[in-house]
Chains A and B, each alone.
Chain A
């Protein structure tokens, strides 16, 4: 086993959060050396880590004296890098694997001190493919929060009324921002938070990551892609539903039915060993057969903004987008992967439809973790 080295905080670094399962907001050092798992961290945080994972050996960072740095007036960033070298040396590490995001300043300092730093992101991704029991439980809680948020949005859309300027609810203008807030409140009650959730209306729904803004129209499409993070575990869920308020739209209804069928096709293909890219190709072929452009039909070098223009899905865990990939390039699925499948159809400047479920890959197929109807009616 090669030695492992991580430097960062466990809120932003999924690699660190996988090893140290609580939020540590300031950067610290974690290493695996000769079978030992060691965290060198401020003693105040060390107590917290020890209380959740006694297998991690805690070395208080205060035991690395800074007296000489203070005497010499060394600045803060240099102190952190020099301390990293002292810490790594104290552990007897001469060569270590690090993730791609390993901080460059520390890497340079360690390398010039003669310590070999080998970047191997694949190693760290592979560790996270099969979720721990606590991570999977966190994904499930986040998924319940997502469903509560979606139900809150749907309920507001259902209860809304038409007015001269667009949709209103209880005498107030009904906006995408207001709908986002309803979802966020539902997340809070489940111990989850959402960053930039998407509640996009009309033409905004055509642009994959437009978070959405403004008043919902009387006859409008509202695309909701929400991805709450469960705070205690750090794990995400990810789900999308598309709603139509007011008069039905024939094109939208047709596309919606096709997306739901494409999702069913994708779910039916999930099993360990299948290539993520093979699933993406199958769903793309399904859409091409129905006359939609895809990443495969578009001429090389062109910017595709219509049809099924994005990948089929991605892994979900300590990051909302992680391995395995299910796009033009991808990975073979393994039992224990949690993946989001999100077929969509769009017309730039007009609008779009996307539906997305979260599934757990099992020994012979999958378990769909999302429990929410697909209906276009909210």
Chain B
């Protein structure tokens, strides 16, 4: 076992959150040396981290002479670099593996003091592939929140009136912004929160990550792509449905049929040991045989904006996008315990898009589908 070093806080660093599953807003040092896990942190946080009851040696910064550093009247950043270096020296760290996002500022300081750092993200990714019980429970709670949010959105668009082709509710246009606010409240009631998310009507839905805005029109597909985060475990869910009020044009119905097929075909392939690339390839096969372009058919360097222009899926856990990746690049094989999304879609910039996304838990002989929500296009 080689030594490990992480510097960060637990809100933004999934590597740190995995080791210290608690909200700690200011950066601190976590390291593993000779099989012992050490945390160096401000004394205000030390007791909370001890309270987790994990096998962590928690050192308040007074133990490594933080007061001496204060006496030197250092700049804010110099200070953080200096105490992190002291922590590494205190633990006797000589060489450590760090994640690829390790802060370059600390790198330069630590290398000056003779500590050797090697970037190997695979070490940290591998730790997070199989979820802990608490993490998996968190993913499930976040998934329930996503479904409850979408339930409310569907109820809102269903109860709206058609006013010259635009949805209207209680005398005001039922805008994307109104729908999102109602969904956020539902997320909160489920102990979850979210950054901005996709509710993209019509042509906005062709933009992949266009978050959506403005009025919703009758007969146009609306892409709902939601990734609430459970605020206890910090784990995400991720789901997408495409919903239209009133009849859509035949073309959109055909996209939806093909996308359901791509989702069904790829879901049936999921089990431990299957190659990530082969699952992506199966989705491409469905679309290409119906005449739509994919990342496989485009020429090198071409910017593809229609057809199935993105990857098929990704891991979900402490990050909404994490390994394994099921796309064009080699992503290795799926492992039992992976939570992955499958999100095939078809797009045409002038019209919009259709995307469907479930999350599944990979098992030895198949998978458990964690998403419980109908696929219906027209509501």
B-binding residues in A (CB < 8 A): 11-12, 23-26, 42-45, 47-48, 60, 62-67, 69-70, 73-77, 79, 81, 98-108, 117, 119, 121-122, 125, 181, 184-185, 187-189, 191, 193-196, 207-211, 231-232, 300-305, 309-310, 320-321, 323, 325, 328-331
The CA-CA distance from A77 to B62 in the complex, in Å, is: 38
Chain A neighbourhood of B47, CB < 8 A? 207
Q: A62-B301, A207-B44 are in contact. Are A104 and B98 (CB under 8 A)?
A: yes
Decide yes or no whether B248 CB sits under 8 A from chain A.
no
Decide if B19 is an interface residue (CB 8 Å cutoff): no
The answer on a CB contact under 8 Å between B187 and A188 is yes
Segment at the interface with A among B115-123, B130-138, B267-275: B115-123
Rounded to whole Å, the gap between the CB of B221 and the closest CB of chain A is 17
Q: Give Cα A205–Cα B153 distance, bound, in whole angstroms.
A: 38
Known contacts A104-B119, A105-B100; A65/B60 CB under 8 A: no
| Extra contacts besides A100-B81, A329-B79 (15): CB < 8 Å | A43-B303, A43-B305, A44-B309, A48-B211, A64-B301, A65-B300, A181-B188, A187-B188, A207-B47, A209-B48, A232-B196, A303-B60, A328-B70, A329-B75, A331-B76
Q: Which single member of B100, B181, B320 contacts A103 (CB below 8 Å)?
A: B100
Task: Give which listed residue, B23, B76, B77, B310, contacts A211 with CB less than 8 A.
Answer: B23
Does the CB pair A300–B67 fall under 8 Å? Answer: yes
Query: Which 6 A-B pairs have CB atoms at the shortest separation, nearest pair first?
Result: A100-B105, A196-B23, A105-B100, A188-B184, A44-B208, A104-B102
**B258-266, B282-290, B322-330, B360-368: which lies at the interface:** B322-330
Q: Tell yes or no: B163 within 8 A of A by CB.
A: no
Closest Cβ–Cβ distance, residue B276 to chain A (whole Å): 10
Question: Which chain B positions have C-beta within 8 A of A42?
Answer: 208
Q: Answer whether residue B45 sits at the interface, using C-beta atoms and an 8 A cutoff.
A: yes
Chain B interface residue count, CB cutoff 8 Å, equals 74
Interface residues of B (CB under 8 A from A): 11-12, 23-26, 43-48, 60, 62, 65, 67-68, 70-71, 73-77, 79, 81, 98, 100-108, 117, 119, 121-122, 177, 181, 184-185, 187-189, 191, 193-196, 207-211, 231, 300-305, 309-310, 320-321, 323, 325, 328-331
Identify which of B11, B108, B321 contacts A119 (C-beta below 8 A): B108
For residue A69, which residues in chain B have a CB less than 8 angstroms away from its CB?
A: 329
State in angstroms the CA–CA spacing of A24 and B321 once bound together. 12
Q: Is the CB of A73 within 8 A of B330?
A: yes
- The CA-CA distance from A85 to B158 in the complex, in Å, is 50
A302 to B67, CA, bound (A): 9
Can you show 27 pairs from A to B with CB atoms below 8 A apart? A26-B321, A48-B207, A62-B302, A75-B330, A76-B323, A76-B331, A77-B100, A100-B105, A100-B106, A103-B101, A104-B103, A104-B119, A105-B100, A105-B121, A119-B108, A185-B185, A193-B193, A195-B193, A195-B231, A209-B25, A209-B48, A300-B67, A301-B65, A321-B26, A325-B76, A328-B70, A329-B73
- Contact check, A100 vs B77: say whether CB atoms are below 8 A apart: yes
Please, how many angstroms separate the alpha-carbon atoms of A100 and B8 in the complex?
Answer: 11
- Inter-subunit contact A25/B75 (CB<8 Å): no
- A320 near B62 with CB under 8 A, answer no
Assembled-state Cα–Cα distance A69/B11 (Å): 33
